[in-house]
Amino acid sequence: MRARWVTSTKADGDFRVGLPADELAARRRAFVDLPWVWLRQVHGSAVVVVDADNWAAVCGTEADALVTASPGLALAVHTADCVPVVVSSPDGVIGVAHAGWRGLAAGVIDATVEAMEGLGTRRERLHIELGPHIGPECYEFGATELAAVEARIGTAAGLRARTAAGALALDLRAAVTAAARQAGVPVTALRSAPCTSCWSECYFSHRARGESGRMATVAWLS
């Protein structure tokens, strides 16, 4: 089995949960023509384990990560600045997580890794990739919130960054890297992804432009 994933751009349309169901269903199928499994994301650490029997029933659950060992199901998270995280294993297990600073502070990466182990892989075998998210140069961040993130994942190098204007910033890629290492995933350097704020023609940005639209990051086993 192969793990595949893709993130939508503005050209693919808005995927935010709450749009008319038929409109959303048509857009989903046009983007990835598989049954979609989606969540009501709440910036927490709950993970839903999906399989061929429960996938329809779990849609709309309040959670921030999905994992499965079943092929042919499109696991989706929706973002506009937060990090869409895709975790895959050569043992035929995949996961997706919605990771903003609150989710990272709540332990969403750890919880996703744990749930994937429950499906028959090991954390040393996991591979992590990131979709488009807001870069530190555009992500001014409060000291109190930063301390909350560090309380969970430690004061890893690179976590505290600076915006282009020189203000305190959170580097979300460094934060996911630190969280993954803490969870026992042998991460070296995660490949960087485009900044949702810098690339406004391509991606929705809630933080930078107050947009309500959401991209979809979808992962599946084929």
Among 77, 85, 138, 175, indicate the residue that binds Zn ion (CB under 5 A): 138
Compute how many other C-beta atoms are within 10 angstroms of the C-beta atom of residue 141: 19
The H or E element containing residue 219 is strand 215-221
Closest CA to 104 of 141, 55, 59, 75: 141
135 part of the interface to Zn ion, by CB under 5 A:
yes
We find the least distance from the C-beta atom of residue 205 to Zn ion, in angstroms, to be: 9
Among 4, 198, 202, 207, indicate the residue that binds Zn ion (CB under 5 A): 198
Residue nearest Zn ion (C-beta atom): 195
- By beta-carbon proximity to Zn ion, the closer residue of 36 and 204 is 204
Among 97, 195, 215, 221, indicate the residue that binds Zn ion (CB under 5 A): 195
Among 112, 177, 197, 205, indicate the residue that binds Zn ion (CB under 5 A): 197
We find the least distance from the C-beta atom of residue 21 to Zn ion, in angstroms, to be: 33
We find the least distance from the C-beta atom of residue 135 to Zn ion, in angstroms, to be: 4
Count of residues interacting with Zn ion (CB under 5 A): 6
The encoded tokens of residue 159 equal 């976590």
202 part of the interface to Zn ion, by CB under 5 A:
no
- By beta-carbon proximity to Zn ion, the closer residue of 1 and 198 is 198
The H or E element containing residue 7 is strand 3-7
Q: How far apart are CA 131 and CA 199, in angstroms?
A: 13
We find the least distance from the C-beta atom of residue 138 to Zn ion, in angstroms, to be: 3
- By beta-carbon proximity to Zn ion, the closer residue of 14 and 81 is 81
Sign of the dihedral through C-alpha 58, 62, 67, 71: positive
Interface residues with Zn ion (CB under 5 A) are 135, 137-138, 195, 197-198
